[in-house]
Amino acid sequence: MHIKLLGTLHAERAGVPIVPSAAKPRQILALLALHSRHIVPVADLMEEVWGAGPPRSAPTTLQTYILQLRRRLRAALDGSGQLVPARPAVPPGPPQPTDKEILATRHGGYQLQLADSAVDALEFERLTRLGHAAFEGDDMHTAARLLAEALALWRGPALADVPHGTHLSIEVTRLEESRLGALERRIHADLRLGRHREVLAELCALRGRHPLHENLHALLMVAYHQDGRSSDALIAYRRLRGTLVEELGLEPSPRIDRLHQAVLRGEDALAAWRGPNPAGARTGLAG
């Protein structure tokens, strides 16, 4: 069974779709998948679907939604794709898990029992952790490869066709932040591998989508400078400074200024950007 959350919601087993058409069961499936192998409390599920003031019928309705999801699981497990009661069968090989084992009732909540590799968002997080660890270990080839694999799992905005209640909104924001962090780190690794020409177009597009994100502007400056286009790097700096002053009333961070000075002096821009960062760079995601 595989569930995809990094884009539109998609879930299937052996080609049999599992995703319900109604909005509220989709929210429940998405939240359970994001917390696969962990118990999601009934209170959290109800808050996600109905907000802070659920109706008195909410517990019963939630049970109905869970039964509907199990029915779809059962249809996928028996391979028929038909939403019918389970049929006794004796398939060859080891016994297969039942719908109640995959979507289990626990004390105070429900638990979806799937491996991390079966949920694209969880696989993204695993690959991202490994990629960041490789970067911190100065293994740029491995970091760039793992982070590229993680980013390739995205097919669009997370849960693009699922309503977002309180909990899914938090999870989607977290995933999108992690995606941007992985993208920034992957580009940084590519620059350290001398791939500045390969990432220039990508960085120009990202600058347009995130005009207040200092780190992305800095990486664009580095790429221009490495490509022998220092004038374009300085234009990128002036554009960032103008946007920060106009939108936030702020000057660029000391780290960006250090990079700016390195470009002006014709020094190693990447080394200047990798230097100490006592004040920290701002990474606003407006755009």
Q: How far apart are the first and last CA of the chain?
A: 36
Looking at this protein, which amino acid is placed at residue 131? G
Instruction: Provide the 3-class DSSP secondary structure of residue 53.
Output: coil
Give the CA distances from residue 37 to residues 18, 105, 201, in Å, rounded to whole numbers and listed in that order.
18, 12, 40
**Averaged pLDDT, 11-34:** 93
Distance CA 188, CA 222 (A): 9
Structure tokens at 269: 């821009």
- pLDDT level of residue 274 (50, 70, 90 thresholds): confident
Taking each continuous run of H as one helix and of E as one strand, the counts in the chain are 12, 6
Q: Is the pLDDT of residue 8 over 70?
A: yes
Mean pLDDT of the chain: 90
Is pLDDT larger for residue 246 or for residue 92?
Answer: 246
Listed in sequence order, the residues at least 6 apart from 214 whose beta carbon sits closer than 8 Å to its beta carbon are 240, 244, 252, 253, 255, 256, 281, 282, 283, 284
